[in-house]
């Protein structure tokens, strides 16, 4: 495993190896979306010297949330909680960026101060579930309700919320931010014609549908400068009832236009993954992924999506990506980079403990040398 452990610069991030911790919603924040002791310990355990962690999807607004106990970054308490996380990662020699998230139509009113979900168009995300709290304190999947279409003035307000959250992330000491534009969330809802039927400057043409994504990136870059802003996309995604009449043209256009943004990296979800699940690959044809978009985007690419260490090494050697993000394996192997590097056995992940709960299946996995 040589290529995985060669240094690389991604924008202004100086990395000593190419094993990245993917953002993974674990629903372990304290009341009010505040990162607490449990999250501080979880991220501390997974920090490695010169490695990169991408923190989980973090709400930029109190009016848009899909998952109970997901963290936020829109008030002082949340910012202070994240600063503790960042400090713990930096003390271990790691680097960490925060994934900024607005779920759009994938929002639950009971988690969003009673607000109806908003989207580019009033189109339902059919058979797509958020996660709310039951009366007994457990978790339950709940269908998202019909959203309402955003007014143009409200789009400006959301852009301002991204700006304020980006500034809070910077003040908390993060090394950068990543825009979550995958998995059927708000930026992707604007991008795809299956979820955007607007006839104003935010819809219709390919360029108009991409406008929101690039306006958000412009806002984030104004706060952070070049080389510390990134974006995650899912070109073959169907999670959240997403579809487009020509996804190859859409994402090729986006990838090529991203060359002018000055990103730290472009983070691409491979087609085998749909949200938290694996895709039945026999049902889908001609997915758009890192291999295809490499021809259009000329900067650093992170590929994510169910990689084994062997498959990750092969992808790097083929030049199809520059870094590999691991999600599930990082949940049960806090020292994953060391285990891959030295050939230590990997602890199987526990899918039943992915979402919500306490330390069990979260921060109680020992590093190999501790085990």
Q: What is the pLDDT of residue 284?
A: 44
Catalytic hit among 42, 63, 67, 185: 185
Q: Which residue has the higher pLDDT, 236 or 64?
A: 64
Strands (E) across the chain are located at 8-10, 13-15, 19-21, 52-59, 95-101, 118-119, 129-133, 139-143, 148-149, 176-181, 229-233, 265-269, 273-274, 277-278, 301-304, 323-326
Q: What is the pLDDT of residue 286?
A: 42
Measure the CA–CA gap between 288 and 270, rounded to whole angstroms.
8
Domains observed in the chain: 3-353 (3.20.20.70)
Residue among 10, 7, 18 at smallest CA distance from 336: 18
DSSP per residue, 169-189: HHHTT-SEEEEEE-TT-HHHH
pLDDT (tens digit per residue) in 301-352: 999 988 999 999 999 999 999 999 999 999 999 999 999 999 999 999 999 9
Model confidence pLDDT, tens digit, residues 111-146? 999 999 999 999 999 888 999 999 888 899 999 999
Share of the chain above pLDDT 70, in %: 95
Residues 31-81 have pLDDT tens digits of 999 999 999 999 999 999 999 999 999 999 999 999 999 999 999 999 999
Q: What is the mean pLDDT of residues 280-288?
A: 47
In a 3-state reduction of DSSP, which class is residue 289? coil
92 Cα distance to chain centroid: 23
- With cut-offs at 50, 70 and 90, classify the pLDDT of residue 94: very high
Can you tell me which residue has the tokens 């279409």? Answer: 149
Is 265 considered catalytic here? no
How open is the CA angle 131-95-226, to the nearest 5 degrees? 95
Q: For 244-271, how does the pLDDT look when each residue is reduced to its tens digit (9 = 90+)?
A: 999 999 999 999 999 999 999 999 998 7
């Amino acid at each position: 495993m040589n290529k995985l452990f060669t240094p690389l610069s991604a924008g202004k991030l100086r990395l000593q190896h190419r094993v990245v911790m993917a953002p993974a919603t674990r629903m372990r924040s304290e009341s009010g979306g505040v990162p607490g002791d449990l999250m501080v310990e979880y991220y501390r355990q997974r920090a490695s010297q010169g490695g990169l962690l991408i923190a989980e999807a973090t709400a930029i607004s109190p009016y848009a949330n899909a998952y109970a106990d997901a963290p936020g970054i829109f008030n002082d308490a949340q910012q202070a909680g994240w600063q503790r996380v960042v400090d713990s990662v930096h003390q271990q020699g790691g680097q960490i960026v925060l994934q900024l998230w607005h779920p759009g139509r994938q929002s639950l009113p009971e988690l969003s101060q009673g607000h109806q979900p908003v989207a580019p168009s009033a189109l339902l995300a059919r058979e797509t579930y958020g996660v709310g709290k039951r009366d007994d304190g457990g978790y339950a999947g709940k269908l998202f309700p019909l959203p309402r279409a955003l007014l143009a003035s409200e789009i400006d307000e959301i852009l301002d919320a991204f700006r304020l959250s980006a500034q809070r992330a910077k003040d908390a000491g993060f090394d950068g931010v990543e825009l979550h534009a995958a998995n059927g969330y708000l930026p992707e809802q604007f991008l795809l014609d299956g979820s955007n039927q607007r006839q104003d400057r935010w819809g219709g043409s390919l360029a108009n549908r991409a406008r929101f994504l690039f306006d958000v990136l412009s806002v984030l870059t104004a706060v952070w400068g070049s080389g510390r802003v990134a974006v995650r996309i899912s070109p073959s995604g169907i999670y959240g009832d997403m579809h487009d009449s020509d996804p190859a043209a859409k994402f090729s256009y986006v990838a090529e236009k991203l060359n002018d943004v000055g990103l730290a990296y472009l983070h691409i979800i491979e087609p085998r993954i749909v949200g938290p699940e694996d895709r039945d690959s026999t049902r889908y044809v001609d997915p758009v992924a890192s291999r295809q978009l490499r021809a259009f985007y000329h900067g650093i690419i992170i590929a994510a999506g169910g990689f084994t260490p062997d498959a990750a090494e092969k992808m790097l050697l083929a030049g199809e990506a520059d870094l590999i993000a691991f999600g599930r394996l990082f949940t049960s192997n806090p020292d994953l980079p060391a285990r891959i590097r030295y050939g230590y056995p990997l602890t199987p992940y526990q899918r039943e403990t992915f979402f919500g709960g306490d330390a069990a299946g979260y921060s109680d996995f020992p590093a190999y040398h501790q085990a």
